[in-house]
Amino acid sequence: MLRYVIRRLLLIIPTMFFVALITFSLAHLAPGNPFDKNPNRPMPQETIDRISRFYGVDQPIPVQFITYLGNILHGDLGISFTRRTPVVDVIGQGIGTTFQLGIGALAFALAFSIPLGIVSALKQNTMIDYLSMLVATIGTTIPGFVLAIFLIYIFGVNLHLLPFVGWGSWQHMVMPMFVLGLGAGGFLTRITRASMLEAIRQDYVRTARSKGLQERAVIVGHALKNALIPIATIIGPATAGLITGSFIIESLFNVPGMGRLYVISILARDYPIIMGTTLLYAFLIMIANLTVDIVYGVLDPRIKVA
Amino acid sequence: MAQQLLEVTDLHTQFFTRDGVVRAVDGVSFEVAAGETLGIVGESGCGKSVTALSLMRLIPVPPGKIVKGTIMFDGADVLKMDDDEVRGIRGNNIAMIFQDPMTSLNPVLTISRQISEALELHLKMDKSEARKRTIELLDLVGIPSAKKRADDYPHQFSGGMRQRVMIAMALSCNPKLILADEPTTALDVTIQAQILDLLKNLAREFRTAFILITHDLGVVAGMTQRIHVMYGGKIVEKADTGELFANPKMPYTWGLLRSIPRLDERRKAKLVPIEGLPPDLIAPPPGCRFEPRCQYRRDICREKEPELVHIPNSKPDHEARCWGTQQGGWLVDTDWHKEVGDTRIIEEIKQEVAQLPPEPKPGDVPPPPAI
């Protein structure tokens, strides 16, 4: 088990290398340059040259890449072109907020989706089932930005119940977490319902009933334990997705997190930030996948992790 | 009649589906005395399993429903009990062994957990007692190094071993009745014999009554004292095992006997299958349910359903549901052997049956030995 985890952790290194290579190439392939002439703020050519030299942008791209890799090994992600502060600090400021938002959204998604999925499986083809499937379908089909705009309009602009710009108090968190969590939760509700429906039809559930167990023990102890396996598979990528996938929501609600930072940096061609954020996202996704694989082995004895 | 352990009267279990009402069990009555063994035989889809599940009220509701009848177990009607009372019986007084050991054990729980569960629930054992007893039970059903294997998961066991685990589970609370629903169908032939032997010996040792449900007359031959043949949701013939093989009185039973395979290369005759399919239980034939497939049928068979009655020229408790073999019928003197060709298998089964232990007298049931 320990060896497996170590091997998987070591595998992160080559993966990260390729992520860095691809991102670096794509960022530089995109037309434009961070210090392009700006008609509103004209800069003399020698100033541009000096800045380019300072940030190393004048070097050939392969040299820039190798320098970048060398710096990463020292824990140096470079200096943001637009903010003139180390990328590590810039990301450090945003990551906490993004995590708060992501974890909050995940907690919300799990809190409603798993009970809802279980109940609708147990009460299949009843009003409860139809209602929860309606909620799940709405959650999965309405894009977050559409829902966000509706909510901002209703609760923010018209009712003045919730603030819709910025971050800090719990009131700020309600709408972004709800919007972000609803999509993932809708999907999880469907998965939970489907795998629970499958589990309760299995022979071993009948065996459990034939032992005289209480219905609750049959459902929780026998059916749910099996149903959790497919659910866990989904929760891993969903978590990574919630943490990394919040840029639209962060931009809409003006949340000072990594997602918004990412969008701004791409528009500004702030290479160090783009690289740093992408690498961090890649790392988070890999850790999430590893966690799922470990949890998988714990939930399902048939899968041997090692 | 002496007090029976189980007395099923006029049981009707139906499934309400989109296509109509499936009359899976349609007026079945039978009884089992304490310590007695009964075989229920019939093709797939004739209501055997549904009968067994009905006894424990394990029919999924909806779509299923036990619409009529009584199931007197140990003097109380299972169908009138509330859910808690039924749970008190399940696993404790009546235990069930299911057909497919590959899917009947929970893949994510250890063997020991799955057996201990019932012990903790019904016998109020604590965890360590239950574990100790579990290992004893696994030992008893022939799991080698039971102590080590108790913490294994089902996927680490072979099919035969899993069925042994199921048997251990069924025996765990010393039930008065075990329902074994096709316990060997999913196993290969060599393992079948081992499992059947184990089941027979343990049931005898524990003085447990059991009902063996199977589609294979060869399986029940050496196992049970009496046999009920089911067809289309009804019992069509009831007799002692020996009597049924020696003197079957229903063309369907004849068909079943002709379709028992045997491993004998000298045999020239092919197996004789029963032509056709079992009846549609949504709209069963109005007369005898076997009539559409019966080679001896006459007009009356299609018009009117025969009752399950005592048959002339047979033992007193031999009953069959057939116009032809009833008093005055046209099959009373038919020698069914002549229609078969080779009957050596029947002779062998008869010998096997002759070696069965004598039936216990009702009321003469010693308590199960402590293990």
Question: Which residue of B106, B119, B120, B155 to mutate against A (max A Cβ within 10 Å)?
Answer: B106
Which domains occur in chain A, in start order?
1-306 (1.10.3720.10)
Counted domains in chain B: 1
Cβ-based contacts of A303 with chain B (< 8 Å): none
Contacts of B252 (CB under 8 A, 6+ apart): B229, B231, B236, B237, B274, B290, B293, B294
The per-residue pLDDT for B167 is 87
Instruction: Give the closest-approach CA distance of A212 to chain B in angstroms.
Output: 4
Residue B263: pLDDT above 70? no
- Could you read off the pLDDT of B160-183 as tens digits, one per residue? 888 888 888 888 888 888 898 888
Average pLDDT of the segment spanning B114-135: 87
Spatial distance between the Cα atoms of A114 and A187, rounded to a whole number of angstroms: 10
CATH number where B319 lies: 3.40.50.300
Greater model confidence, A96 or B261: A96
Chains A and B form CB pairs within 8 A to the count of: 73
Predicted pLDDT of residue B370:
59
Please report residues of B whose CB lies closer than 8 A to that of A208: 106, 117
Could you tell me if residue B29 is inside a domain?
A: yes
Q: Which residues of B touch A198 (CB under 8 A)?
A: none
Name the stretches of chain A with pLDDT < 70.
34, 36-41, 245, 305-306
* Predicted confidence (pLDDT) per residue in B345-357, tens digit: 566 666 777 777 6
Q: What ipTM is given for this predicted complex?
A: 0.77
Per-residue confidence band for B358, with pLDDT thresholds at 50, 70 and 90: low
Share the mean pLDDT of chain B.
81
Q: Give the pLDDT of residue B1.
A: 45
- A183's tokens: 């999509």
List the single residue in B87, B104, B155 with the smallest CB-CB distance to A204. Answer: B104
Query: Which of B98, B105, B122 is the closest to A212 by Cβ?
Result: B122
A240 in Cβ contact with A204 (< 8 Å): no
Residue B267 lies in a domain: no
pLDDT at B108 over 60: yes
- Please give the C-alpha separations between residue B348 and each of A23, B235, B246, in angstroms, as whole numbers: 79, 26, 11
Higher per-residue pLDDT: B221 or B352: B221
Closest CA to A243 of A148, A103, A113: A103
> Can you tell me the mean pLDDT for B287-306?
82
pLDDT of residue B364: 59
**φ, ψ (nearest 5 deg) of residue B115:** -85, -40
Provide the residue range defining the domain that includes B360: 1-261+277-371
Output the pLDDT for position B346.
60
Cβ neighbour number for residue B233 with a 10 Å cutoff: 28
Determine, yes or no, domain membership for B210.
Answer: yes
What does the pLDDT look like over B275-290, one tens digit per residue? 777 787 888 888 888 8
Judge contact between A181 and A104, C-beta under 8 A.
yes
- Three-class DSSP labels, chain A: CHHHHHHHHHHHHHHHHHHHHHHHHHHHHCCCCCCCCCCCCCCCHHHHHHHHHHHCCCCCHHHHHHHHHHHHHCCCCCECCCCCCEHHHHHHHHHHHHHHHHHHHHHHHHHHHHHHHHHHHHCCCCHHHHHHHHHHHHHHHCCHHHHHHHHHHHHHHHCCCCCCCCCCCHHHHHHHHHHHHHHHHHHHHHHHHHHHHHHHCCHHHHHHHHCCCCHHHHHHHHHHHHHHHHHHHHHHHHHHHHHHCCHHHHHHCCCCCHHHHHHHHHHHCCHHHHHHHHHHHHHHHHHHHHHHHHHHHHHCCCCCCC
Segment B57-89, tens digit of pLDDT:
888 877 888 888 888 888 888 888 888 888 888
Distances (CA, A) of B329 to B234, B299, B322: 21, 13, 9
Nearest residue to B243 (alpha-carbon basis) of B226, B224, B263? B226
Please indicate, yes or no, if residue B98 is contained in any of the structural domains.
yes
**pLDDT given for residue B145 in this prediction:** 84
> Are A301 and B153 inside 8 Å of each other by CB?
yes
B87/A204 Cβ within 8 A:
no
Read off the pLDDT of each residue in B190-209 and give the average, rounded to a whole number: 83
Per-residue pLDDT for B56 more than 80?
Answer: yes
Nearest CA in chain B to A217: B117
The pTM of this model reads: 0.76
Give the residue from chain A lying closest to B59, CA to CA: A206
Determine, yes or no, domain membership for B268.
no
Pairing label, strands B37-41, B177-181: unpaired
Give yes or no for residue B341 having a pLDDT over 50. no
User: Which strands sit side by side in the sheet containing B309-310, from one edge to the other?
Assistant: B94-97, B177-181, B209-214, B37-41, B226-231, B234-240, B319-320, B309-310
Is residue B267 scored above 60 in pLDDT?
A: no
User: Residue B298: what residue type?
Assistant: R
In a domain, B359, yes or no: yes
Q: Is residue B207's pLDDT more than 70?
A: yes
- Please report where in the chains the tokens 């749970």 appear, as a residue: B87
